[in-house]
Amino acid sequence: MQDPKEIPLKHRDLNWLSFNARVLQEAEDKINPLYERIRFLAIFSSNLDEYFRVRVSQLRQMKRVEKSIRKKLALKPSKTTKEIIKKVKIQQDKFGAIYEKQILPELAENGIFLLGAEHFTSSQKSFAASYFQKNIKQHLDPRIIKVHKEQELFLENAELYLIVQFDAKEELGLVNIPVDACGRFINLENDSKGHDITYLDEIIRSQIATIFEEKTITGIFEIKLSRDAELYIEDQYEGVLAEKIYNSLAQRDDGQPTRLLYDAQMPAALQKTIRKLLKLGKIDMMPGGKYHNFNDFLSFPDPTNNPNLNFKKFPNIKHRELENSADYFKTISQKDQSLHFPFMSFAYVENFLQQAVNDNNVSAIKISLYRVADESRLTNLLLRALEKGKEVTVFVEAKARFDEENNIVWGKKFEEKGAHVIYSYPKIKVHSKIMLIQRMENEQVVNYAYIGTGNFNSETSKIYCDHAILTANKNIAKELSRLFMVLEGELIIPREKNLLISPFSTRQEFNRMIYNEIDNARDGKKAKITAKMNSLEDPGIIALLYRASQEGVEIRLLVRGFTCLIPGIKNLSENIYMTSIVDRYLEHGRIYIFENDGDEKIYFGSADWMTRNLSRRIEVLAPILDKDLAQEFKEILEIQLQDNVKARIQDAEETNKYVPKAEGEKPIRSQYEIYNYLKQKHETRGQS
């Protein structure tokens, strides 16, 4: 096999920008209702903020690593960062054009006007002054900055501020914009037809003179600083080399600035002053529009309540077996059951847990929580199980990015109530989405397993496309119970034969199955690999896929996010075709199908083909053994592979071209087609 270090690969951070470009395409696509396009702008902005806090931060920290180490890892952080900045600038220009030339005019067509302070009527100016005094002023912390006194300026991460320029050049004003306390958007009084809305920023701008009464104001400019979230070196580099990198970075500052977004209208001299006050480099400065933090548009008000401005809601599909089941244990023991979110309600998972809590024969409940929701029915049920004296084991991932604090708070709550709470290990995350119910039946312990691709979170289940299976299959459930024993420290390895469990067996089994397809292709047998995932990055897997392509294995990939694999290279990856779907719901499921000369093997679960998922996280992928469910998963994936409305081609040039429709071909928008497929399958049972 070719050395993974020598194969052609895309840079993951550069290719991630192609994924966010697809999000921006959704903001531009007029198939989507107006308010949904606004939300896609907000998602694009939120994604970019996290990207700078994590990925760009890591690249910049790499610049401080010893040159010898950087050379050994083939790291070129400065070059990559410059390429990122160039691409982001192009995307932000497009973002601004969509907002200014499409969104604002279409809002106006619907009688919704987003006003700047300069367009306030006399009565609106009076309203703004009164509103400021009553609702905003007490939340402000205005400051005077002495420019020439080496005064260091500190800005909170992702908070909005107004820099106020005075005629006296030696001073600047700084005013926070208290979005958390006041909200970002304010409905203005209006004497005519239509609805006038303004930014909180604009109310404050209109009253700046009352804040700095003795100053002559010459300019007001919005800024926002993104800070380093945390350095996740272990996600990409491991072993002794990682330790050396950590030692090189021992002196790094927590929360180092990674990007200052500023109003492009800010004068160059003021830009330079701000940069020096914040101790930033030129590359840290990113020009933008008048307003920042567009993720606030996720809560942009709709005063019209016009249903045509939002996606039409899909009523939850009623599961043909679970909807009317009074005994989930009996239903699951008779046949494996599948769930597909967001088309079905997460309440089925909660109902199963509730039956377990109320069942006197259930002795133990074990669950892994990667991102713990705020108080929810599921967390309350776990607490209720403890009150009823059941053994409850909760594995809490303490390193789930940006959810660390909430996860630990909930871990402590469970501990206080008597649960056995296990937190993540120093160098490994538990990313699997699993639950085990142990029940006494005929004086024996019977295991019931839940395996999914998404978090145990009822809110995200409404917007993430995920899959899950409830099973009492003895082999699967026993292996899952052994995995929990590993997490509890009772076993060292789970000894699985059916499940793929990272970091124990997943890579080896995927390698074996890919090699099997290669052998079959050489022998003239049926050979094909079909895989859907969020991200594709692992060099070892990519090298094997390249080799399989060279041997004639047909490879069809569906990768929502970034990919390091380059498809379509002659004599290397010409048998690999890859698409990506970005639509109203976030594609989050992972499904892997190996042709195996006609005896297909189908797996689903929590792991992408990323090094961290294969080698440094606890992940669970399950074979779909029930023939009906295997066919169901296959047909769902097939619908997605046929998408010609929201699917883009992932090619070597990163063009993000939509999959073309042949003349007369039926449009297939896979998320809508899957909903109809599941509705037909579950809600027409028994009808003639």
pLDDT of residue 430: 81
3-class SS of residue 448: strand
449 forms bridges with which residues in the sheet? 436, 471
pLDDT of residue 401: 52
Between CA 337 and CA 471 the distance in angstroms is: 7
Query: β-strands 554-559, 576-581: how paired?
Result: parallel
Beta strands in 65-137 (DSSP E): 112-115
Who has greater pLDDT, 127 or 55? Answer: 127
Inform me whether the pLDDT recorded for 597 exceeds 90: yes
Q: Is residue 563 a contact partner of residue 10, using CB atoms and an 8 Å limit?
A: yes
Residues near 230 by Cβ (< 8 Å), separated by ≥ 6? 54, 401
Tens digit of each residue's pLDDT (9 = 90 or more) over 83-142: 988 899 999 999 999 999 999 999 999 999 999 999 999 999 999 999 999 999 999 999
Inform me whether the pLDDT recorded for 390 exceeds 50: yes
Q: Is residue 514 a contact partner of residue 592, using CB atoms and an 8 Å limit?
A: no
Tens digit of each residue's pLDDT (9 = 90 or more) over 449-491: 999 999 999 999 999 999 999 999 999 999 999 999 998 889 8
CA distances from 197 to 114, 160, 182, 299 (A): 5, 19, 14, 13
Q: Is residue 136 a contact partner of residue 143, using CB atoms and an 8 Å limit?
A: no
Task: Tell me the chain's radius of gyration from C-alpha atoms.
Answer: 27
Query: β-strands 617-623, 429-430: how paired?
Result: parallel
Q: Is 214 exposed, middle or buried (0-12, 13-18, 19+ CB in 10 A)?
A: exposed
Q: Which domains does the chain have, with CATH numbers?
A: 33-301 (3.30.1840.10), 328-495 (3.30.870.10), 502-683 (3.30.870.10)
pLDDT of residue 304: 92
- Residue linked to tokens 């709709």: 302
Inform me whether the pLDDT recorded for 27 exceeds 60: yes
Who has greater pLDDT, 256 or 317? Answer: 317
Residues near 555 by Cβ (< 8 Å), separated by ≥ 6? 528, 529, 530, 531, 545, 548, 549, 575, 576, 577
Check the annotation: does 237 bind a ligand. Answer: no
Between CA 678 and CA 128 the distance in angstroms is: 51
CA angle in degrees (0–180, nearest 5) for 433-435-437: 170
Helices (H), 200-292: 200-206, 208-211, 240-248, 268-277
Q: Is 236 exposed, middle or buried (0-12, 13-18, 19+ CB in 10 A)?
A: middle
User: Among 27-41, 136-150, 228-242, 595-609, which stretch is predicted with the lowest mean pLDDT?
Assistant: 228-242
Out of 292, 319, 340, 431, the active site residue is 431
Between CA 55 and CA 331 the distance in angstroms is: 46
Between CA 586 and CA 571 the distance in angstroms is: 34
Inform me whether the pLDDT recorded for 253 exceeds 60: no
pLDDT of residue 303: 92
> Taking residues 268-283, what's their average pLDDT?
89
pLDDT of residue 147: 85
Tens digit of each residue's pLDDT (9 = 90 or more) over 529-587: 999 999 999 999 999 999 999 999 999 999 999 999 999 999 999 999 999 999 999 99
**Amino acid symbol at 523:** D
- Residue linked to tokens 């008048």: 290
Share of the chain above pLDDT 70, in %: 89
pLDDT of residue 308: 95
pLDDT of residue 404: 58
pLDDT of residue 310: 96
> Taking residues 160-178, what's their average pLDDT?
94
pLDDT of residue 283: 80
> Nearest-CA neighbor of 617 among 451, 430, 435, 492?
430
- Residue linked to tokens 């497009």: 94
**Ranked by mean pLDDT, which of 395-399, 411-415, 511-515 comes out on top?**
511-515
> Taking residues 232-239, what's their average pLDDT?
44
Who has greater pLDDT, 250 or 140? Answer: 140
Q: Is 48 exposed, middle or buried (0-12, 13-18, 19+ CB in 10 A)?
A: buried
Who has greater pLDDT, 57 or 1? Answer: 57
pLDDT of residue 227: 80
Q: Which two tokens stand for residue 261?
A: 């977004």
Is 431 catalytic? The answer is yes
Tens digit of each residue's pLDDT (9 = 90 or more) over 630-664: 999 999 999 999 999 999 999 999 999 999 998 88
221 forms bridges with which residues in the sheet? 163
User: Among 162-166, 351-355, 399-403, 632-636, which stretch is predicted with the lowest mean pLDDT?
Assistant: 399-403
Query: Confidence band (pLDDT; 50, 70, 90) for 81?
Result: confident
pLDDT of residue 399: 54
pTM score, two decimals? 0.90
Helices (H), 99-219: 104-109, 122-131, 179-182, 200-206, 208-211
524: left (phi over 0), alpha (psi -120 to 50) or beta: left
Between CA 420 and CA 416 the distance in angstroms is: 10
Query: Cis link prior to 503 (omega < 30° from 0)?
Result: yes
pLDDT of residue 262: 94
Average pLDDT, rounded, for the chain: 89
Check the annotation: does 588 bind a ligand. Answer: yes
- Residue linked to tokens 């005075």: 166
Check the annotation: does 464 bind a ligand. Answer: yes
Q: Is residue 57 a contact partner of residue 228, using CB atoms and an 8 Å limit?
A: yes
Check the annotation: does 596 bind a ligand. Answer: no
- Residue linked to tokens 């239903």: 331
Check the annotation: does 47 bind a ligand. Answer: yes
Inform me whether the pLDDT recorded for 237 exceeds 60: no
User: Among 77-86, 371-380, 398-407, which stretch is predicted with the lowest mean pLDDT?
Assistant: 398-407
User: Among 318-322, 393-397, 444-448, 678-682, which stretch is predicted with the lowest mean pLDDT?
Assistant: 393-397
pLDDT of residue 238: 42
Query: β-strands 591-594, 528-533: how paired?
Result: antiparallel
Between CA 99 and CA 38 the distance in angstroms is: 8
Between CA 666 and CA 677 the distance in angstroms is: 16
Check the annotation: does 467 bind a ligand. Answer: no
CA distances from 361 to 387, 390, 438, 478, 490 (A): 15, 10, 9, 18, 24
Q: Which two tokens stand for residue 406?
A: 């909430």
User: Among 371-375, 409-413, 544-548, which stretch is predicted with the lowest mean pLDDT?
Assistant: 371-375
Q: Is 608 exposed, middle or buried (0-12, 13-18, 19+ CB in 10 A)?
A: buried
User: Among 63-77, 102-116, 404-418, 579-593, which stretch is predicted with the lowest mean pLDDT?
Assistant: 63-77
Torsion of CA 388, 391, 392, 393, to 10 degrees: 170
Between CA 112 and CA 107 the distance in angstroms is: 5
Query: Confidence band (pLDDT; 50, 70, 90) for 397?
Result: confident
